[in-house]
């Protein structure tokens, strides 16, 4: 199959942002790469129509959300104990790495649908009505997933709440 005009340019320009979206939805780099690859494969077959529609990035993100819902095989993160992790060669200058690890572990216990709702609400900053439209579900379902996800995060990672309160002025 020949490359539809503009597809490579689109992937080169928006690939990193789409990869970040896939990672936030899955919580794992390898699974995110699979998700993005599948979404781009589905997108390229209809590229002319999608590009003519005006917002191909939104289309790819929607495909990723739909694909994530239909995956049958379990996709869970595997974490190792601190004893198995080698000592770092250089100091980590980020300062937030512990918090990112806690957040990744907490997000791993959520369902894919709950992670999708959290991503759309807090990363893309979409109102609940638009989330319902993107996920093709009712507003009540979005509210329920959002409520359940936040309650579960509060339960499995209360230390995240403490660090976020300390960070506020």
**Residues 6 or more apart in contact with residue 161 via CB below 8 angstroms:** 154
What is the longest distance spanned by two Cα atoms in the chain? 56
- The Cα–Cα gap between 124 and 21 comes to 9
pTM recorded for the entire structure: 0.57
Per-residue pLDDT averaged across 50-79, rounded? 76
Q: Residue 28: which pLDDT band, with cuts at 50, 70 and 90?
A: confident
Q: Is the CATH number 3.40.50.620 carried by domain 96-167?
A: no
CA distance 135 to 55: 17
- Token pair 């509210």: residue: 143
What mean pLDDT value characterizes the chain? 80
The whole-number pLDDT of residue 142 equals 94
Q: For 4-32, what is the mean pLDDT?
A: 87
Distance from C-alpha of 126 to C-alpha of 58, rounded to nearest angstrom: 13
Q: Do 143 and 128 touch, CB atoms closer than 8 A?
A: yes
User: What is the average pLDDT across 118-143?
Assistant: 90
Over the stretch 131-164, which tens digit does the pLDDT of each residue have?
998 888 999 999 999 999 999 988 888 887 765 5
Please give the pLDDT value at position 98. Answer: 72
Short-list 41, 6, 35, 7, CA closest to 19:
35
Helix or strand run (H / E) with residue 1: none
Mean pLDDT across the stretch 34-60? 89
Read off the pLDDT of residues 58-68 as tens digits, 9 standing for 90 and up.
Answer: 899 989 988 88
- The beta-carbon contacts of 34-40 under 8 Å, at least 24 apart in sequence, are 35/64, 35/67, 35/68, 36/64, 38/63, 38/67, 39/63, 39/64, 39/67, 40/11
List the one residue out of 70, 39, 65 whose CA is nearest residue 133: 65
Mean pLDDT computed over 6-25: 89
- When pLDDT is cut at 50, 70 and 90, the band that residue 84 belongs to is low
pLDDT at 148 (0 to 100): 94
């Amino acid at each position: 199959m020949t490359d539809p005009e503009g597809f490579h340019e689109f992937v080169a320009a928006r690939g990193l942002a789409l990869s970040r979206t896939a990672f936030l939805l899955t919580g794992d780099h390898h699974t995110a790469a699979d998700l993005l690859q599948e979404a781009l494969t589905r997108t390229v077959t209809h590229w002319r129509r999608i590009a003519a529609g005006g917002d191909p990035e939104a289309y790819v993100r929607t495909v990723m959300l739909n694909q994530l819902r239909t995956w049958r095989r379990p996709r869970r993160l595997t974490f190792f104990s601190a004893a198995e992790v080698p000592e770092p060669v250089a100091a980590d200058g980020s300062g937030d790495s512990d918090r990112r690890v806690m957040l990744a572990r907490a997000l791993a216990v959520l369902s894919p649908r709950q992670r999708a709702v959290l991503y759309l609400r807090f990363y893309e900053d979409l109102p609940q009505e638009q989330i319902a439209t993107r996920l093709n579900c009712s507003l009540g379902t979005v509210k329920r997933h959002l409520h359940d996800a936040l309650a579960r995060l509060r339960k499995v990672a209360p230390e995240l709440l403490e660090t976020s309160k300390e960070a506020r002025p």
